[in-house]
Amino acid sequence: MVDLGFGLALIRAVSKERDNPEMLGRVTSTGFVFFFLFGFVILSVGFLIGNFYYIENPALIKSSIKLSATHTNLLLGLFFYVNYISTFFRSVYEGLGKFIFYSKIAIIYSFLTLLAAFFSWLFALDIAGLATLMLVAATVQLLLLVVFSKTSNMLQDLKPQILILVSLGRFLVSVSEFREQQFLVQR
C-alpha cells in the first residue's frame, strides 16, 4: 500500500502514546485525517490517470468496452481507498500491540478475497465482477476494523493536530533517509 511509510510512523506514535488516552486520541485522529485525505488525493490522481491515459486511449481500450472499463476503474479505485483506510486501522492495532486480533481480521479478509476469486471463476465473471467482489471483501474488513475499534476507543474524538503530523513526518523522513542509505550501501 502506498502510505509512504506513514503507517510505520503511526505504529510508532501509537505505541509510544498507548498509555496516555488523551494523547492517543490526538495521534489516532491525526493519523485518520491524514489517511482519509491523502488516500483521497491518491484516489483522485489514480482516477485521472486511469481515465485520461487508459480509458480514453483507443489503442488500449476499445470503444465497445469503454463503459465496462470505466466501471472497473471506479470499482478498483474504491477498493484501493477502502484498503487504504484499513491500513490506518491496521497501523493503530499494531501500535497498540493487538497483533493477534488484527491477524484474525486479516485471515478473514484473505478468506474473503479467496472466495471472491473462486466465485469469479465459478460464475465466469468479468474483471468488473471480480473487482466488485474484492470491494465487498475489503468493505467487510473495514467494517470489522471500525466496529472493533469502538471497543478500544481509538477514535474517541477527532482532534487532529498539526504538531503531531509534523512529528510523524519527521519520523517518516528519518526512516526514508535510513532506507536510502541502506540502498546506497548495497549498491
Q: How far apart are CA 171 and CA 5, in angstroms?
A: 9
Flag whether 56 is in a domain.
yes
Flag whether 80 is in a domain.
yes
The model's pTM: 0.80
Flag whether 121 is in a domain.
yes
Q: Report the domain count for the chain.
A: 1
Query: 29 and 160 in contact (C-beta within 8 Å)?
Result: yes
Flag whether 1 is in a domain.
no
| pLDDT at position 186 | 66
| pLDDT at position 177 | 57
Start-to-end CA span in the chain (Å): 25
Long-range contacts of 73-78 (CB under 8 A, 24+ apart): 73/47, 74/47, 75/128, 75/131, 75/132, 75/134, 75/135, 76/131, 77/43, 77/46, 77/47, 77/50, 78/135
Among left, alpha and beta (phi > 0; psi -120 to 50; other), residue 5 is left
Q: How far apart are CA 21 and CA 31, in angstroms?
A: 15
Which residue in 29, 68, 56 sits closest to 158, CA to CA?
29
| pLDDT at position 5 | 76
| pLDDT at position 175 | 56
Domain that holds residue 163: 6-186
pLDDT tens-digit series, residues 151-165? 666 656 656 556 666
Flag whether 131 is in a domain.
yes
pLDDT tens-digit series, residues 96-114? 999 898 999 999 999 999 9
Flag whether 177 is in a domain.
yes
| pLDDT at position 172 | 59
- Which residues of the chain are under the pLDDT cut of 50? none
| pLDDT at position 30 | 83
| pLDDT at position 8 | 85
